[in-house]
Structure 1
Amino acid sequence: MKIITWNCNMAFRKKAEFILAEQPDILIVPECEHPDKLIFKSDVTKSRDQFWFGQNLNKGVGIFSYSDFKIELLSIHNPEFKYVLPLSIKNDEIEFIVFAIWAQKPKNHDCYTEQIWNAVHFYDNLLNKENVILVGDFNSSSIWDKPNRIYNHTNLVNLLKDKNIYSTYHSFYNQEQGKETISTLFMHRKIERPYHIDFCFASKNLIDKIKSVEIGKYENWTKHSDHKPVAVKFQI
């Protein structure tokens, strides 16, 4: 199974063909427009199932299946955590609990991690499931940690670690949070402003089944978005 997250920087209808060339089974797209606006070229592969959530019809989160996986929003969903979406993604053989994420800036400060921190506490029991994935644009990095802030990025990573959930990129490349050698965002599309803020976390049993983790190259994706796709392939 190949899962890809890519913040498309809006207008997904004009860019879908490029990410679909990477052949995802499941695709998570922050900043995706409402399905009613997704009018694709005739030769663009159509998803077999999809789910969208948002308040702005031009800019929500789209989740698409291009295989036999079905997507369902879990009834426990709390809209207070607007873009941390608990989903069941399953076929006849396996089920995943997937949190599709596009972290938003709180009203009273600039730490995007707070929303995810609060959400994972609310959905604590779901994190104990067998096949758990948290994937998307976290807008977060250990380089922005403030020591006295409990919901900083490092504390979130450690909280997930306590649940036996780990970053696929950091596990595969044996790198430390905040010291990534490959970036997922180039602020304002400038190569001199690189950050690693898009993640795919997975439960330990899935970490052991990683076949590959790939991040798109700056020169291939910058004309489409300030973010690069993160693609994780599991041997399942």
Structure 2
Amino acid sequence: MKIITWNCNGAFRKKYDFLNNFDWDIAVIQECENPAENKEFQKTLERCDSLKYFQWIGKNKNKGLAVFSRSFSIEIDKRFSKVSSEFCNYGDSSHELRYFLPLKINGFIIIGCWCHTGDDYIFRYIGQLWKYLLLNSELIDSNTIFVGDFNANKIWDYEHAWWSFSTVNKMLNQKGLYSYYHLATKDDFGKEKQPTFFLHRDKEKSYHIDYVYGNPDFLKEITILKIPKNDKQELSDHVPIYCELNMQN
């Protein structure tokens, strides 16, 4: 299975051709408009078989989280919709966790991620994933894959309490899930040589905040790609991550 994740910085309908450069099976796209509610995107879907299967979530129809599959049917795993009164009204529409898309794909669970600010300033970004892991702990095992924009790095641990990036990394490790980039490069967390995000497209403000976490036995190859361009214009402030996995049910 070949997976690509990319925060496209909006208007994916105008950028999807970039994905044709890769032999992908699953594409996890952050800041993607809702394909079902965009007329231009509907025309794209009609002529592009590789975007045939998809799921999308979001509050803003112009900017949410989408997962596309060109090879396998995909189904939302509704077991992951659990709520709990432990967390400041989690389950109320004004405090929902954003954005996580748990999917059944070819016998595996792939959770697309775009860790958002949500409506809770304290538990923003990595705090959203921390909550998600606690709420769904019993459903997560070494056959689960987390893919996407975590909006987090160890360098910002000081901004948080027990829900820091390092805490979340440890929680995932305890489930047998590890960052494929770090497995492949041996880089230390917080000292990554290859950034995935450029704040305001400034090369001097670069950070590693996008990840693929999974069973180490699945990993065949992972690549942090260059900033994609179209007509010499940068398409996004994020670079895609592409990985090839050996997965058998």
TM-score of the two chains, using structure 2 as the length reference: 0.85
Which structure dedicates a bigger proportion of its chain to helix? 2
Shift of 1:23: 2.0
Residue identity in the other structure for 1:86: P
Shift of 1:76: 2.0
Which of 77, 102, 112 is the equivalent residue of 2:114? 102
| CA 159–41 in structure 1, closer or farther in 2 if over 3 Å, else same | closer
Please name the residue that 2:218 is paired with: 209
Is the contact between residue 88 and residue 96 of structure 1 (CA under 8 Å) also seen in structure 2? yes
Q: Provide, for residues 160-217 of structure 1, a one-character-per-residue CA deviation record: whole Å limited to 9, x for no partner.
A: 11111100100111112111100100111111111000000002xxx22322111111
Give the distance between the partners of 2:105 and 2:77, measured in 1 at CA.
Answer: 10
Please name the residue that 1:27 is paired with: 27
Aligned to 2:189, the other structure's residue is in SS state: coil
Shift of 1:70: 1.6
* 1:63 and 2:67 matched: yes
Aligned to 1:158, the other structure's residue is in SS state: helix
Which of 220, 234, 239 is the equivalent residue of 1:228? 239
Which of 49, 55, 80 is the equivalent residue of 1:77? 80
Calculate the aligned-residue CA RMSD, in Å: 2.0
Gap runs ≥5 in structure 2: 82-90
Is the contact between residue 45 and residue 51 of structure 2 (CA under 8 Å) also seen in structure 1? no
Is the contact between residue 142 and residue 152 of structure 1 (CA under 8 Å) also seen in structure 2? yes
Give the distance between the partners of 1:21 and 1:42, measured in 2 at CA.
Answer: 20
* 1:114 and 2:117 matched: no
Is the contact between residue 2 and residue 26 of structure 2 (CA under 8 Å) also seen in structure 1? yes
Gap runs ≥5 in structure 1: none
Give the distance between the partners of 1:55 and 1:124, measured in 2 at CA.
Answer: 25
| CA 191–81 in structure 1, closer or farther in 2 if over 3 Å, else same | same
Which of 137, 145, 150 is the equivalent residue of 2:162? 150
Aligned to 2:44, the other structure's residue is in SS state: coil
Shift of 1:45: 4.6
| CA 127–153 in structure 1, closer or farther in 2 if over 3 Å, else same | same
Please name the residue that 1:197 is paired with: 209
Give the distance between the partners of 1:117 and 1:40, measured in 2 at CA.
Answer: 36
Residue identity in the other structure for 2:208: H
Please name the residue that 1:9 is paired with: 9
Aligned residue pairs, count: 227
Please name the residue that 2:87 is paired with: none
Shift of 1:77: 3.4
Shift of 1:136: 0.6
Which of 134, 150, 154 is the equivalent residue of 2:146? 134
Q: Which runs of 4+ in 1 moved over 6 A?
A: none
Is the contact between residue 53 and residue 61 of structure 1 (CA under 8 Å) also seen in structure 2? yes
Aligned to 1:104, the other structure's residue is in SS state: coil
Give the distance between the partners of 1:58 and 1:147, measured in 2 at CA.
Answer: 30
Residue identity in the other structure for 1:61: L
Residue identity in the other structure for 1:213: I
Q: Provide, for residues 122-179 of structure 1, a one-character-per-residue CA deviation record: whole Å limited to 9, x for no partner.
A: 1111212x42100111000000002760000011001111111100100111112111
